[in-house]
Amino acid sequence: MAIYTMKEAKPAPTGNRGVIFWLRENLFPDVKNSLLTLACLYILYTIIPPLLNWMIFDATWTGTKEEIVNSGARWIFIVEKFDQFIYGFYPENLHWRPNLVAILSVAFFISLNVISNNKVKITIILLFPIVCYTLISGGWFGLEAVPTEKWGGLMLTVLVAAVGIIASFPIGIVLALGRQSDMPIVKTLCIGFIEFVRGVPLITILFMASVLLPLFFHDGIEFDKLLRALIGITLFQAAYIAEVVRGGLQAIPRGQYEASEALGLSYWQGMILVILPQALKISIPNLVGSFISLFKDTTLVLIIGLFDVLAMVTLTNSDTNWLGFEVEGYVFVTLIYWVCCFSMSQYSKSIERKFNTEH
């Protein structure tokens, strides 16, 4: 009886494998593409080496201003002003407080994934913002109070973004439910708000919050400049979240709504237990996209006179000892934003891929 023995597969013909094959297939398949490839290589050649030289090889990393001899970036400016970029005017001896908040935030997110007891979870969720606010603002438990004008830099940027994201989330969900509701008045009110906010630029909303909001209240009621900006940003973001969540709600099959009603669940029970968990899950990529936009939009607070990390570039450059370092400042801030936004968008893409395979 003949025994079948596996023969080793022959390698592909030499013309169809290896680096050269890949190059020929992907870069030089025909004349037109070859020219394109060469053009791209030329572009890379003109951009990459000078950029690397400026940023790394010819850059000055240490020393004092007077010792600069290299022609590249003068990163000592960033090193010198690093604290201001990160903390703004926050008192130097109290920097440990924002640092502690940063560590707590990491711990907070880990604990949310680890702890399974819902009661503990909710307690943590409710307690966390209070603890953070107390730590940063002070005034209690013997902590020295730091007024909001002194908050600045990356700390302020992250704070504005975080508050905007967290506070707008419940408002956005309620608005989305209102827009999908059967009640005509509620529906009209929600649509009116959402479309109004989405129709105007954020800057006009910030202007309104910073200039007009105090006119809407009586003398006794006072708003901090930062608080007003936060209100403006939260309302703005809520309208966008509402639209994202609405997309998710519409994607839930009608049967799910009917099933929850058939089980005798009330409207809110059905929404919270059946519909929203599914709708939010499929909206996660879009929600992250919306958060990225918000994070980028936090730069606008500089126009109403708050000192976020971008405003710090201008401010540190008006120091008479450090004039003319705008480029380094802009590049540094660009890197911060780019790293944050890029990693968030990669995260959202990975979630999208995960969902795709589940179907």
Partner 1 sequence: MKNKQLPTDGNGFLNNPHYRAILFQVVALAAVIFCGFYFANNMFDNIASRGISTGFSFLNNTAGFGISQTLIHYDDGTSTFLDVFIIGLLNTLLVSVLGIIFASIIGLLLGVARLSSNYLVSKLALVYIETFRNIPILLQILFWYNVVLAALPSPRQSLSYLDSVYLNNRGLLLPEPIFESGSLAILIAFVIAVLSVIFLVRWSRKRHDETGQDFPIVKVSLAILVIAPCLVYFVAGQPISAEYPELKGFNFKGGLTIIPELLALLFALSIYTATYIAEAVRAGIESVPKGQKEAAKSLGLKDYVILTKVVLPQALRVIIPPVINQFLNLTKNSSLATAIGYPELVTLFSGTTLNQVGQAIEIILMTMAVYLVISILISLLLNWVNAKMAIKGR
Partner 2 sequence: MKVTKLALLMGMTALVPTLSHADTLDDVMKKGVLNCGVSTGIPGFSAADSKGVWKGLDVDYCRAVASAVFGDASKVKYFPLTAKERFTALQSGEIDLLSRATTWTATRDTSLGLTFAGVNYYDGQGFLVSTKLGVSSAKELDGATFCIQAGTTTELNLTDYFKSNGMEYKAVTYDTSGQTIDGFKNGRCDAVTSDASQLYGLKLKMDDPASVVVLPEVISKEPLGPVVRQGDEKWFKIARWALYATLEAEELGVSSSNVDAMLKSENPGVKRLLGVTGQHGKDLGLKNDWAYQIVKQAGNYGEMFDKNVGKDSPVKIDRGLNKLWNQGGLMYSMPVR
Contacts with partner 1, residue ranges (CB under 8 A): 26-27, 29, 33, 36-37, 40-41, 43-44, 182-186, 189, 196, 198-204, 207-208, 211-212, 215-218, 267, 292, 296-300, 302-303, 310, 326-327, 330, 333-334, 337-338, 341-342, 345
Please identify, using beta-carbon distances, which residue of 230 and 244 lies nearer to partner 2: 230
- State in angstroms the smallest separation of the CB of 140 from partner 1: 31
320 sits near partner 2 (criterion: CB under 8 A): yes
Please identify, using beta-carbon distances, which residue of 111 and 299 lies nearer to partner 1: 299
**In sequence order, what are the residues at sequence separation of 6 or more whose Cβ sits closer than 8 angstroms to the Cβ of residue 150?**
88, 89, 90, 91
80 sits near partner 2 (criterion: CB under 8 A): no
Please identify, using beta-carbon distances, which residue of 208 and 280 lies nearer to partner 1: 208
145 sits near partner 2 (criterion: CB under 8 A): no
Residue 308, classed as helix, strand or coil, is: strand
Among 49, 319, 349, 354, binds partner 2 (CB under 8 A): 319
151 contacts 137 by C-beta, under 8 angstroms:
no
Helices (H), the chain: 18-26, 31-52, 76-87, 96-114, 118-137, 153-180, 184-199, 202-207, 225-251, 254-262, 267-270, 276-297, 309-317, 326-358
Among 53, 150, 166, 289, binds partner 2 (CB under 8 A): 150
24 sits near partner 2 (criterion: CB under 8 A): no
Q: How many residues bind partner 2 (CB under 8 A)?
A: 29
| 149 binds, options partner 1, partner 2, none, Cβ within 5 to 8 A by partner type | partner 2
Please identify, using beta-carbon distances, which residue of 314 and 343 lies nearer to partner 2: 314
d(CA 276, CA 314): 44
Q: What is the radius of gyration, based on Cα positions, of the chain?
A: 27
- State in angstroms the smallest separation of the CB of 167 from partner 2: 22
- The contact pattern for partner 2, residues 85-124, with x = CB under 8 A and - = no contact, is ---xx-----------------------------------
Please identify, using beta-carbon distances, which residue of 142 and 324 lies nearer to partner 2: 324
Place of tokens 């079948």: 4
274 contacts 259 by C-beta, under 8 angstroms:
yes
- State in angstroms the smallest separation of the CB of 107 from partner 1: 27
What 8-state DSSP symbol labels residue 65?
G
Residue 248, classed as helix, strand or coil, is: helix
Among 31, 118, 215, 358, binds partner 2 (CB under 8 A): 215
First-last CA distance in the chain: 47
Among 7, 10, 119, 218, binds partner 2 (CB under 8 A): 218
Please identify, using beta-carbon distances, which residue of 49 and 139 lies nearer to partner 2: 139
Query: Which candidate, 228, 226, 222, 234, places its Cα nearest to that of 137?
Result: 226
How far apart, in Å, are the Cα atoms of 208 and each of 85, 197, 204?
A: 28, 12, 6
- State in angstroms the smallest separation of the CB of 123 from partner 2: 26
- State in angstroms the smallest separation of the CB of 219 from partner 2: 5
7 sits near partner 2 (criterion: CB under 8 A): no
**In sequence order, what are the residues at sequence separation of 6 or more whose Cβ sits closer than 8 angstroms to the Cβ of residue 54?**
71, 72, 73
Strand-pair partners of 74: 60
Query: Which candidate, 324, 297, 67, 53, places its Cα nearest to that of 164?
Result: 297
Residues found near partner 2 in the complex (CB under 8 A): 84, 88-89, 147, 149-150, 210-215, 218-223, 225, 303-305, 314-315, 318-320, 323-324
